[in-house]
Each structure stands twice: as C-alpha cells, then as structure tokens.
Amino acid sequence: MGVGIEVKDLNAWYGSNHTLQDINLNIQPNEATALIGPSGCGKSTFVRCLNRMHETNPIAKVTGSVRIGDLDIYNDASPVEVRRRIGMVFQRPNPFPTMSIYDNVASGLRLNGFRNRRVLDEVVERSLKHAALWDEVKDELKKKSGASLSGGQQQRLCIARALAVDPEVLLMDEPASALDPVSTAKIEDLIFQLKSQYTIIIVTHNMQQAARVAERTGFFLNGKLVEFDSTHKIFTNPRDKRTEDYITGRFG
C-alpha cells in the first residue's frame, strides 16, 4: 500500500546555490501528486530529496525532515533502505541495455540477495503485469534485451523494474516527456491503475497531464513551493497570482 509523505522545513543546496527553500507539504497516500513549475525551479531536486538521491552529488546539502509513512528517511534509515521503499523513474528510459527484459526486472531483487527462481519468476511476471507490459513481452522475456524495446515499452520496463522491489512510493520525473502521444497515454493510464497500490509523485511540464492524472498539484517557483492544493483548485481558482500567471501561460 502507498504511504503518506510529510515534508518539513526542507532546504537543499548545490554548493552555494540555495535550490530549495523551506518546503513544507503533506502528500496523501494512494494519490498522484503533480509538481509543476518553470525550468530550474527545483522540481527534480525536490523529488531527489525524497529518496536521498540529492546527497549523492558531492556538492549537495540538505536539511529538514522527510517522513515516508513511519520512516524518518534522514534519521531512521540508510539510503539503500530508502531507495527500496521509494522507487524512481526518470525522463529518459534507462533499462540496463545488455540485460534481458527478465534480468532488468529481476535486477533489484537479485541485488537484495533473492536467488529463488520460482520467486523471481513470480515477481517478474507480477511487475510486468502491473506495468502493463506483460502481454507485449511475455514470449521473449529472456531472449530480448531491454534496449530492443520501443521507447514507451522501455519506460514501462523501468516502471516494472521499480515496482519489483515492492516500493510504497513511486517518483516519476517527467516520465512521458520523451515519449510519443500513444505511449504517453499508456503511462497516464498506468498511473491511474498504480495509485490504488502506491503513492505517486509526478514532475511534469505538461499541465494537461497534471490535470488528467493528479488529485493534488504543487507549483514551484525559484526554489519555493508557492501553492499546493487540489488539482482542480490550482487549475481553476488558484490562490496565488504567480500560480495563475504560470498556468495561464504568462511565463515559463
């Protein structure tokens, strides 16, 4: 099941660049939350703080607290544990190119020491079904490489790979921006289905996409969270003039 996320006084830096400033928000379990805002406003940095990827950059720093369910991710858990519970999918599909479809999906489990063939077979099948890719690849699981799939299939493979280790949260950083409209629609359908089991955060430049898939939306500007509310409210009657200017296309 998905879990809620509570972010308190989150600040992040790259060197002296104070990239995120005093971010506070609560993300609801089993919903999709969209993050929008102009290029460079800090959306990707924010999601990278949620699975402790930000700190992998040597010049990066982060302060504040993030609770994912019961877990205080900066105090109670190792980065490895955090990244198991919080899966991530990136803008460009990044399957391991030389691995088969099967091995791509099984890779996280194998890293965690799982070797039992029957268990791996089950998890691979279930994950590919959840990612709506099973029917397209089931006959060539071990013959075809991840890289031989289409871009949209590769992205669903990356989603299956993320789901295989049984996360509670799925972070998606512009997951459809490199895809054609048909593949984009498949990813959006998938987000709808996945919400029942996972909490989803999606960074998107596409405001129609935010409106279609997300219950709540946050608008970032210059490292600050300007407004966070139901998606309907953000797109029909935002509280802040800057949100209104952005969603009506006056800047960004």
Ligand X SMILES: Nc1ncnc2c1ncn2[C@@H]1O[C@H](COP(=O)(O)OP(=O)(O)OP(=O)(O)O)[C@@H](O)[C@H]1O
Instruction: Catalog residues that contact ligand X under the rule CB under 6 A.
Output: 14, 17, 19, 37, 39-45, 57
The whole-angstrom separation of Cα 244 and Cα 235 is 8
Nearer to ligand X by C-beta: 3 or 213? 213
**AA letter at 167:** P
Closer to ligand X at the Cβ: 45 or 183? 45
User: HSE on the CB side for 46, CA within 13 Å?
Assistant: 36
| 225 vs 218: CA distance, rounded Å | 7
Cα-based angle 110, 85, 13 (whole degrees, multiple of 5) = 115
DSSP state for residue 107 in the 8-state scheme: H
Least distance (Å) between residue 242 CB and ligand X: 15
Report the distance separating Cα 179 and Cα 189, nearest Å: 14
Cβ closest to ligand X, residue 145 vs residue 206: 206
32 beta partners? 200
Nearest distance in Å: CB 98, ligand X:
27
Q: Are strands 169-173 and 60-68 parallel, antiparallel or unpaired?
A: unpaired
| Residue 60 beta carbon to ligand X: minimum distance, rounded to whole angstroms | 8
Q: What is the DSSP string of 211-224?
A: HHH-SEEEEEETTE
Q: With respect to ligand X, which residue has the nearer C-beta, 146 or 223?
A: 223
* Three-state DSSP class for residue 81: helix
Q: By C-beta, is 166 or 240 nearer to ligand X? A: 240
- Sign of the four-CA dihedral 12, 203, 218, 37: positive
